[in-house]
């Protein structure tokens, strides 16, 4: 079907049907972007302003160490980008244009759901907002959260099946000509429409991204979750692109000013919904798949020492690991210093160890020889580390695993008492070298 | 004289918990059937988007039978859930009641659908709308009929005492299918009966 079907004018019947919806709104525009107004509606500005203030203030109250650990520059940047996307979608002339062009409306929805929502979810806003309050208020909020049943209802609402159904219903319902027309005819319903899209998108991306790491939906199921919703989105986009007549009466006499027939406008919107949105869905599927494989690798590495869960694929991995160690041994023989110890770590400075362990607070929980005042009793003493069979009772004791464990204990055993301290690779290697040096 | 000793110990039937291979099998069945219905419903919307003249061509489809049908299937899902909870607590009688009530609800659903079919002024071959209508609701009816068969088998197995609190994966698998039929009906109901009214 050719995309330019401008010669086909609207069926007269369609114009008749659309008439009631046109009363009192959708005045044809001038067709010039510069003449479109900005939307300085107070409550939109207040909401955006509050969000930015809450985030910034929360970050300010956190100590710098925790801030860089929990948020970091990337998350803060993604918050800024998310807010910028919201600003473009809700305040820039795009908002005024969406009354005139269905395709502009589609771009706005795409910005809300596929750009702003994932960026904001990545930036962990809830945690920053919480920190914007003083300790006593945070406690009250926590108490209400648990005791008021909020926690339970949010958990129930966030169950993957509920989110999947909600996203599907929201998607199809609001693109039916009737509800779409109501939204354009009534500002309140229009706001409700955007609210539905935005909230369902936040829920969707929260399950997909899981900014705090503990997944409610495992990787394989998340792939199905994203793919099935993505396909629905694609089908609807295809439907709009391939349709034989325009659906949305509210745009019937506003598109001409922009050089488009209503059908062309709808085809453009359909393509926008079909292709860019699907690219985002596909990209997230790819990223999820890679994360899934990494996760599986880590699980396998953790599983190897237990020996009971050894399957054939794990056995292959194990032999590869053994081979790699043997090769390392062989190569270490080439070192001009002669055969090095198994624990030797290249490029690490064991002498930096004590100072680093002071700096990162290891000494607060562990008793460590050679580190002043390191008499903590929370974790095990770190003497003669090289003689141990396991790290944290689960990883085989070798330099790579020790560095991995030091850098992010929470990713190895989520919820264990040892916090992620934000060690850099080099610092972790130096500390490991010091610990093994004590052997 | 030869004495025959018959052991009184009976080996359990079926796997523990519901993540048996049958469970994954049912999930793949659901995946293929859901794909089938997704394409059928997409064809409905696609043909509607190309229709010349009024859509639906015979006026708005009547809700007088469709709404009771919807309530029957939703209620059937609840009774099956209730029955499954029964066997979770080692109560096969409750499961049997749940199975019978769900099956009766399913039967009434099929009867009401038949009534609606009989009352339609068009045939399978009248036009695109009529063939979509009979194909989609027909496919769904076939799935309900298969579901009824499943419930009957489960009933017999429960009566024979095959299930207890630990081992009832077949029940969980059947319940999963029954919920799937309900959800598909909700999509069919939305497409054929609600969407034209919001057009």
Question: A334-363, pLDDT tens digit by residue?
Answer: 444 433 455 667 778 888 888 888 888 888
Of A178, A179, A244, which is closest to B49 when you measure between CB atoms? A244
Specify the DSSP element, H or E, that contains B108.
helix B92-119
CB contacts under 8 A, B 118-177 vs A, are none
- Return the number of other C-beta atoms located less than 10 Å from residue B4's C-beta: 4
Nearest Cα residue to B30 out of A161, A71, A410: A161
Average pLDDT, chain A: 83
- Whether residue A328 is found in the same domain as residue A354: no
**Contact check, Cβ <8 Å, B49/A173:** no
Distance from CA of A272 to the nearest CA of B (A): 18
* DSSP conformation class of A345: -
Task: Give CA–CA dist B37/B29, Å, rounded.
Answer: 12
Average pLDDT on A14-29 reads 47
**Contact check, Cβ <8 Å, B49/A231:** no
Task: Give CA–CA dist A189/A436, Å, rounded.
Answer: 66
pLDDT reported for residue A426: 86
- Whether residue A36 is found in the same domain as residue A96: yes
Q: What tokens appear for A399 in the block?
A: 């330099």
What is the DSSP annotation of B150-192?
Answer: HHHHHHHHHHTT---SS--HHHHHHHHHHHHHHHHHHHHHIII
- Whether residue A235 is found in the same domain as residue A266: yes
Of A178, A239, A245, which is closest to B45 when you measure between CB atoms? A239
- Whether residue A199 is found in the same domain as residue A325: no
Q: How many domains does chain A have?
A: 3
Task: Give CA–CA dist A275/A105, Å, rounded.
Answer: 16
pLDDT reported for residue B7: 57
Of B38, B190, B199, which is closest to A178 when you measure between CB atoms? B199
- Whether residue A361 is found in the same domain as residue A285: no
- Whether residue A75 is found in the same domain as residue A213: yes
**ipTM of the complex as predicted:** 0.83
**Residue A27 pLDDT more than 90?**
no
The sign of the dihedral angle between the CA atoms of A193, A199, A205, A207 is: negative
- Whether residue A415 is found in the same domain as residue A321: no
- Whether residue A26 is found in the same domain as residue A112: yes
Question: How much helix, strand and coil, in percent to the nearest 5, is found in chain B?
Answer: 70, 0, 30
Coil, helix or strand at residue A224 = helix
**pLDDT category of residue B175 using cuts at 50, 70 and 90:** very high
Of A172, A232, A243, which is closest to B49 when you measure between CB atoms? A243
Nearest chain B residue to A18 by CA distance is B199
Task: Give CA–CA dist A262/A6, Å, rounded.
Answer: 9
pLDDT reported for residue A350: 82
pLDDT reported for residue B89: 92
Which residues span the domain enclosing A34? 18-301
Question: CB of A50 within 8 A of CB of A285?
Answer: no
* DSSP conformation class of A420: P
A344 occurs within a structural domain: no
Tell me which chain B residues have a C-beta less than 8 angstroms from the C-beta of A180. Answer: none
- Whether residue A248 is found in the same domain as residue A181: yes
pLDDT reported for residue B177: 97
pLDDT reported for residue A324: 65
Average pLDDT on A89-116 reads 92
Could you tell me which residue, B95 or A379, shows the higher pLDDT? Answer: B95
pLDDT reported for residue A335: 42
Query: What backbone phi and psi angles, to 5 degrees, belong to A36?
Result: -75, 140
Average pLDDT on B54-59 reads 89
Average pLDDT on A80-97 reads 93
Average pLDDT on B76-102 reads 95
Average pLDDT, chain B: 91
**Contact check, Cβ <8 Å, A239/B46:** yes
Query: What backbone phi and psi angles, to 5 degrees, belong to A23?
Result: -60, 125
Task: Give CA–CA dist B44/A309, Å, rounded.
Answer: 50
Specify the DSSP element, H or E, that contains A396.
strand A395-396
Of A172, A176, A232, which is closest to B199 when you measure between CB atoms? A176
- Whether residue A324 is found in the same domain as residue A271: no
A9 occurs within a structural domain: no
Bridge partner list, A396: A390
Tell me which chain A residues have a C-beta less than 8 angstroms from the C-beta of B49. Answer: 239, 242-245, 247
Task: Give CA–CA dist A219/A213, Å, rounded.
Answer: 12
Q: Which residues contact B166 (CB under 8 A, 6 or more apart)?
A: B16, B17
Coil, helix or strand at residue A374 = coil
A339 occurs within a structural domain: no
A381 occurs within a structural domain: yes
Residue at token pair 């110990």: B9
Tell me which chain B residues have a C-beta less than 8 angstroms from the C-beta of A20. Answer: none
CB contacts under 8 A, A 229-258 vs B, are 231-232, 235, 239, 242-245, 247
Question: CB of A99 within 8 A of CB of A28?
Answer: no
Q: For residue range B35-46, what is the model confidence (pLDDT) as tens digits?
A: 999 999 999 999
**pLDDT category of residue A376 using cuts at 50, 70 and 90:** confident
- Whether residue A206 is found in the same domain as residue A93: yes
Task: Give CA–CA dist A353/A428, Å, rounded.
Answer: 9
Q: Which residues contact A304 (CB under 8 A, 6 or more apart)?
A: A310, A314, A317, A318, A321, A396
**Residue A18 pLDDT more than 50?**
no
Average pLDDT on A3-27 reads 43
Interface contact B190, partner A, CB < 8 A: yes
Interface contact B24, partner A, CB < 8 A: no
Tell me which chain A residues have a C-beta less than 8 angstroms from the C-beta of B50. Answer: 243-245
Nearest Cα residue to A273 out of A303, A316, A230, A222: A230
A8 occurs within a structural domain: no
Average pLDDT on A64-92 reads 91
**Residue B151 pLDDT more than 90?**
yes
What is the DSSP annotation of A136-157?
Answer: HHHHHHHHHHHHTSHHHHHHHH
Q: For residue range A244-257, what is the model confidence (pLDDT) as tens digits?
A: 889 998 888 888 88
Counting every residue, how long is chain A?
439
In the A/B pair of chains, how many CB contacts fall below 8 A? 32
Of A172, A179, A239, which is closest to B49 when you measure between CB atoms? A239
Q: What tokens appear for A296 in the block?
A: 């599986």
Q: What tokens appear for A282 in the block?
A: 């596909």
How far is the CA of A44 from the CAs of A120, A248, B145, in angstroms?
Answer: 17, 26, 53
> Tell me: domain B21-198, CATH 1.10.10.10, correct?
no
Could you tell me which residue, A364 or B69, shows the higher pLDDT? Answer: B69
Please give the radius of gyration of chain A, using alpha carbons only, rounded to the nearest integer.
29
pLDDT reported for residue A107: 96
Contacts 24+ apart (CB under 8 A), A3-6: A3/A264, A3/A267, A4/A264, A5/A261, A5/A263, A5/A264, A6/A261, A6/A263, A6/A264
- Stretch among A69-73, A323-327, A386-390, B106-110 having the lowest mean pLDDT: A323-327
% of chain A residues with pLDDT over 90:
39
Q: For residue range A202-226, what is the model confidence (pLDDT) as tens digits?
A: 999 999 999 888 899 999 999 999 9
Of B51, B52, B198, which is closest to A176 when you measure between CB atoms? B198
- Whether residue A207 is found in the same domain as residue A356: no
How far is the CA of A284 from the CAs of A205, A304, A421, in angstroms?
Answer: 10, 30, 29
**Residue A328 pLDDT more than 80?**
no
Could you tell me which residue, A323 or A114, shows the higher pLDDT? Answer: A114
Within chain B, strands assigned E span none
**pLDDT category of residue A321 using cuts at 50, 70 and 90:** low
The sign of the dihedral angle between the CA atoms of A35, A39, A41, A46 is: negative
Q: Which residues contact B195 (CB under 8 A, 6 or more apart)?
A: A172, A176, B45
Nearest Cα residue to A26 out of A333, A257, A212, A221: A257
Task: Give CA–CA dist B141/A428, Å, rounded.
Answer: 63
Could you tell me which residue, A200 or A65, shows the higher pLDDT? Answer: A200
Average pLDDT on A78-106 reads 92
**pLDDT category of residue A305 using cuts at 50, 70 and 90:** low
Task: Give CA–CA dist B42/A100, Å, rounded.
Answer: 28
Could you tell me which residue, A1 or A435, shows the higher pLDDT? Answer: A435
Question: CB of A362 within 8 A of CB of A431?
Answer: yes
Specify the DSSP element, H or E, that contains A91.
none
Nearest Cα residue to B158 out of B86, B72, B102: B86
pLDDT reported for residue A4: 38
Nearest chain B residue to A249 by CA distance is B199
Task: Give CA–CA dist A267/A259, Å, rounded.
Answer: 14
**Residue B144 pLDDT more than 90?**
yes
Which pairing describes strands A390-391 and A395-396: parallel, antiparallel, or unpaired?
antiparallel
Domain ranges (residues) in chain B: 21-198
- Return the number of other C-beta atoms located less than 10 Å from residue B115's C-beta: 11
Counting every residue, how long is chain B?
199
- pTM of this structure: 0.71
Distance from CA of A368 to the nearest CA of B (A): 47
Interface contact A344, partner B, CB < 8 A: no
pLDDT reported for residue A317: 62
pLDDT reported for residue A344: 63
pLDDT reported for residue A23: 43
Average pLDDT on A179-193 reads 92
Tell me which chain B residues have a C-beta less than 8 angstroms from the C-beta of A176. Answer: 195, 198-199
Instruction: Output the domain CATH number for residue A377.
Output: 2.60.40.420
Could you tell me which residue, A303 or A11, shows the higher pLDDT? Answer: A303
Q: What tokens appear for A11 in the block?
A: 């069926």
């Amino acid at each position: 079907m050719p995309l330019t079907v401008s010669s086909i004018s609207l069926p007269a019947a369609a114009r008749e049907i659309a008439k009631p919806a046109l009363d009192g709104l959708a005045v044809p525009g001038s067709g010039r972007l510069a003449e479109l107004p900005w939307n300085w509606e107070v409550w939109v500005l207040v909401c955006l302003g509050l969000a930015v203030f809450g985030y910034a203030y929360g970050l300010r109250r956190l100590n710098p160490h925790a801030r860089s650990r929990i948020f970091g520059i990337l998350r803060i940047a993604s918050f800024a980008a998310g807010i910028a996307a919201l600003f473009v979608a809700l305040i820039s002339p795009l908002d005024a244009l969406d009354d005139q062009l269905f395709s502009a409306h589609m771009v706005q929805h795409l910005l809300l759901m596929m750009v702003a929502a994932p960026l904001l979810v990545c930036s962990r806003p809830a945690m920053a907002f919480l920190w914007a309050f003083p300790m006593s208020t945070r406690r009250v909020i926590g108490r209400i959260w648990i005791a008021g049943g909020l926690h339970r209802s949010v958990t129930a609402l966030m169950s993957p099946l509920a989110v999947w159904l909600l996203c599907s219903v929201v998607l199809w319902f609001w693109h039916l000509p009737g509800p779409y027309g109501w939204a354009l005819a009534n500002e309140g319903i229009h706001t409700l429409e955007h609210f539905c899209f935005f909230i369902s998108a936040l829920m969707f991306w929260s399950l997909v991204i899981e900014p705090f790491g503990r997944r409610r939906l495992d990787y394989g199921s998340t792939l199905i979750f994203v793919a099935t919703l993505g396909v629905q989105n694609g089908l609807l986009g295809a439907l709009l692109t391939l349709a034989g007549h325009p659906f949305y009466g509210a745009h019937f006499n506003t598109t001409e000013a922009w050089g488009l027939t209503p059908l062309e406008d709808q085809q453009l919107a359909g393509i926008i919904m079909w292709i860019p949105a699907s690219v985002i869905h596909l990209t997230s599927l790819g990223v999820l798949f890679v994360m899934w494989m990494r996760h599986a690798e880590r699980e396998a590495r953790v599983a190897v020492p237990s020996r009971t869960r050894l399957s054939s694929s794990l056995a292959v991995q194990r032999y590869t690991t053994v081979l790699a160690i043997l090769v390392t041994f062989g190569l270490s023989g080439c070192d001009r210093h002669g055969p090095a110890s198994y624990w030797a770590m290249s490029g690490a400075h064991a002498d930096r160890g004590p100072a680093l362990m002071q700096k990162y607070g290891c000494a607060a929980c562990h008793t460590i020889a050679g580190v002043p005042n390191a008499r903590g009793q929370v974790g095990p003493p770190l003497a003669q580390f090289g003689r141990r069979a396991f790290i944290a009772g689960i990883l085989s004791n070798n330099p790579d695993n020790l560095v991995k464990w030091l850098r992010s204990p929470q990713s190895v055993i989520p919820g264990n008492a040892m916090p992620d301290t934000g060690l850099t690779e080099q610092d972790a290697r130096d500390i490991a070298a010091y610990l093994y040096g004590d052997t | 004289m030869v004495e025959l000793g018959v052991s009184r110990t009976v080996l359990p039937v079926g796997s523990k918990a519901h993540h048996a291979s049958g469970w994954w099998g049912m999930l793949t069945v659901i995946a293929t059937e859901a794909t089938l219905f997704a394409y059928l419903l997409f064809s409905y919307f696609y043909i509607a988007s190309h229709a010349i003249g009024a859509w639906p061509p015979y006026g708005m489809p009547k809700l007088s039978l469709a709404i009771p049908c919807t309530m029957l299937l939703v209620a059937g899902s609840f009774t099956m859930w209730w029955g499954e909870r029964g066997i979770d607590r080692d109560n096969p009688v409750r499961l049997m009641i749940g199975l019978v009530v769900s099956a009766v609800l399913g039967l009434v659903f099929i009867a009401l659908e038949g009534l609606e079919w009989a009352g339609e002024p068009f045939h399978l071959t009248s036009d695109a709308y009529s063939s979509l209508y009979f194909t989609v609701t027909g496919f769904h009816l076939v799935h309900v009929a298969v579901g009824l068969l499943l419930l009957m088998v489960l009933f017999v197995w429960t009566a024979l005492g095959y299930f207890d609190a630990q081992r009832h994966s077949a029940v969980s698998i059947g319940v999963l299918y029954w919920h799937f039929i309900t959800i598909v009906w909700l999509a069919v109901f939305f497409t054929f009966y609600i969407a034209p009214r919001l057009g």
